[in-house]
Amino acid sequence: MNENKNRIASIGMAILIVVLLSALSAHDVQPANAQSAITVAEGNDFTTRVLRDAWDMNEFSDVSQYLNNSGQFTYLQNIQVANGVFSATSVTASPNKAQFWSLFPGYLTAIKTGKVGARYPIQAATYKCLYVAMNVQTGSGDTYQVQWFADDRLNGGTFGGTDDFAVSPSIWKLYSVNLATNSLYWGTHWNNASQWQGLMISPTARQNIAFSVDWVRLTDCNTVNATITWSPNAGVNAIWVTPSGTSRNILVATGVNGSAGSYILDTQGLAQGTYQVSLGVATTCCTVNANVLTVNQTPIANFTSPSFTSGTDYATQAGNPWDFGDSSDVTSYSNISTPSYSSGLMTFSTASVPLPSGADPMLYLNTPQTIPRGSAYRYLTFKMNTQYPIHIQNVPNGMIVRLIWRVGTDCWLVSQDIPFDVDWQTYSIDLSDAFSGSVKEMSPSGCALSSVTWSTSTNVTQFRFDPNENALGQSLTQQLDQIWLTQMNRVASGMPFFAQIKLNKSPSLIPTRTFYYTTNPSNPYQNLAQPNTVRVPKPKVGQASFFVFVPFVMSSQAVPPPSPPPPPDPNAVDFSWDTTGVAPGTYYLCVRLSDGINQATYCSEVPIQVY
C-alpha cells in the first residue's frame, strides 16, 4: 500500500514539474531572485522640486497648455490622458512636426498664472537631462526632437533645438538626451542662457503616427545607481522595467552583458514608483526576471499658510465668503444660464458668440463693504472647472477670465487677460504686480483718474468676475468653487505666526522637518525659524494671524450660518513660528524635508510681513 502511495506521489510530482516547466517555457521567463527588492532615491527632477507636480500624465494639465497651438492648429488628434498615459496621433509631418509642451512659458500679453515657465523657469545649469518614457507606433527611420524657448515670444525670441534622434519603432522606451551636451540643430544652445521658460517635445516626424507617453522628467544629470542582478544568461542584452499595476514593458538599457549576472543601472530617469525589472533583447521583453525596484517618492511640501489664500480675505471679513454655498455670493449676473448651487459649487453655461465680440458673461460678486485700497487686498485666487468637449485649451477663442472693478460711482476698470485651462484648476494672481494689476481698458475712457492700477484703486464699490469670452462655437459649462481676495499675511514681531504645509505623503513617513525664514527663496537657509512654545489660539481660516481692532460694519446682506469645518487633512503639518527677535521685514518661510532616503527644500510662494 505504501509503495503504491509513493508511486502515485512520484507520478504526481513529475506531472507538477512538467506543468511548471511548460508554463515557464510558454512565457520564457525565469523566476525572480529570492532576495531581489531594491530601493533607491528619486533623482533630482525639475517637476518635483520646482513645480511640485510631476509630469506623470496623471492629469490633463501635464500636457494641455498650448496644445495644438491653443486650438488654432491641428498637430495632434485622438488626444487622451487616461490611466497615467498621454496618447495622441500625429496629423502633420516634418517640418510641421507633431508636438506637445511639457512647460509652456505663458501667453504673450496675458497674465501669467498656473504652472507656466514665466513663473517657474528652468535653471539651465541645473536641470539639463531630459527623459521621456514613450511608445511611438512607427516604422524605422522616424525621429524625435526637443526644443526650448526663452519666453512667451516662442520662436520670435530666443530659442533652440536638438538634432533629430532615432525612434525605436513600436516599443516602450525611456529616451534620454543631455541638453547641455547635445548637438544643436538650430537657434541658441541650452548652455547659452541662464534659464528657459518653455520646453517642447516632437515625438515623431511623420503624420498619422500614434504615440503614448508615460512620463517626462528633467533632472540634474546626477546618477542614482541601482545594481540589478539576475541569473546569468548569454541570450539577454537589454534591461526593461514594468511599472507596478501596468503591462507596459519599458526598455531602459541596451548593450548589457547577460552572462555577467549584474548591471549598474542609472535610475534618475525613472518616475517614482515600483517596477519589475526584467531582461530581454533590445526589441523584446522579457526573458529573465531580475529585481523588484522601488524609486522612493521625494517628499514634497506645499505651503497652505502663508499662501495666496491664507491672509485676511475680503469677503470672509465682510461676513459672506465667496464660496458659492448659495446664491447670496452673486448679486446679479448676465449672459449666462441661471446658475445652480449645490455642494458649494456654482454651475452655469455660456453660449458661444462669434468673434470679434465673443460672449460677455458677467458675475457681480457680493461686495457689502467698500474695498478701501487695492494695495491691501492684493491676491486674487479662484478655483474653477471648465468642461469643453474638445478638451483642448483654446485661449484665442475665449478661454479668458477678466476682472472688472468700479472705483467710486462711475469708473469701471478692466484687468488684463487671465487665460484658463480645461478641468479643475486653481489660479492665483498677485494684483500688486506691475503688469498683473494694470488696467487694459476703462469705461468711460479716461475716467479722470491720474493713476489706474489695482494697487492705486481706492473705494472699490463693485467687483465683477467675467468667467469667459466664449467664441468656441459651442456652449461652455463651468463651475466655481471659491474666489478669494486676500491680503498678505502679517504678524507683529514677537507674536507667533501659524504656518502650515501639506505633504505628498503621511507626515510619519517624513520625520525630519526643519523650518527657516528668508528674504530670498533662492537662499532658503538664511535664518532658522524657531518654534513657538506658548499656547496661543490658532486663527480661523480667512482671518488674520494677529489680533487687530476693526470698525464694526453692519451688512445689509443676510449672513448664512457658518459651514461646519472640513475634516483635518491627514497630510497637513502645523508649525507655530516664534517671531521674537525677528527684525521687521518681509520674509518667506521654507522647510527642509527628509524621509531618510530623499531630502528636499521648499519655500512659500508668498511672503509674510513682520512688523
Q: Is 7 part of a structural domain of the chain?
A: no
* pLDDT given at position 28: 37
Burial class (CB in 10 A: 0-12, 13-18, 19+), 478: buried
Rounded Cα–Cα distance for residues 571 and 594 (Å): 15
* pLDDT given at position 409: 78
Q: Is 356 part of a structural domain of the chain?
A: yes
Same domain, 212 and 282: no
Same domain, 188 and 229: no
Q: Which residue, 487, 506, 527, sits at the end of a domain?
A: 487
CATH number at residue 150: 2.60.120
Same domain, 171 and 139: yes
Angle at 431 between CA 426 and CA 436, to 5 degrees: 85
Same domain, 87 and 36: no
Q: Is 304 part of a structural domain of the chain?
A: no
Same domain, 389 and 416: yes
Q: Which residue, 296, 322, 352, sits at the end of a domain?
A: 296
**pTM to 2 decimal places:** 0.88
Same domain, 467 and 494: no
Same domain, 286 and 369: no
Number of domains within the chain: 4
Per-residue pLDDT tens over the stretch 465-524? 999 999 999 999 999 999 999 999 999 999 999 999 999 999 999 999 999 999 999 999
Amino acid at 121: P
Same domain, 151 and 167: yes
Helix (H, G, I), strand (E, B) or coil at 13: helix
Q: Is 9 part of a structural domain of the chain?
A: no
CATH number at residue 246: 2.60.40
Same domain, 195 and 269: no
Angle at 88 between CA 71 and CA 349, to 5 degrees: 45
CATH number at residue 452: 2.60.120.260
Same domain, 257 and 115: no
Low-confidence ranges of the chain (pLDDT < 50): 1-35, 543-560
Amino acid at 427: Y
Buried-exposed string 173-207: b where 16+ CB fall within 10 A, e elsewhere: bbbbbebeebeeeebbbbeebeebbbbbbbbbbbe
Structural domain of 158: 46-219
**Sheet bearing 273-281, strands edge to edge:** 37-41, 284-296, 273-281, 238-243, 250-253, 172-178, 129-137, 210-219, 85-90, 76-82
Report the DSSP pairing between strands 210-219 and 340-342.
unpaired
Q: Which residue, 467, 487, 507, sits at the end of a domain?
A: 487
Same domain, 142 and 193: yes
Nearest residue to 290 via CA among 236, 225, 223, 214: 236
Same domain, 462 and 605: no
Q: Is 23 part of a structural domain of the chain?
A: no
Answer yes or no: are the C-beta atoms of 493 and 503 closer than 8 Å: no
Per-residue pLDDT tens over the stretch 97-145? 999 999 999 999 999 999 999 999 999 999 999 999 999 999 999 999 9
Angle at 490 between CA 487 and CA 495, to 5 degrees: 155
Answer yes or no: are the C-beta atoms of 249 and 290 closer than 8 Å: no
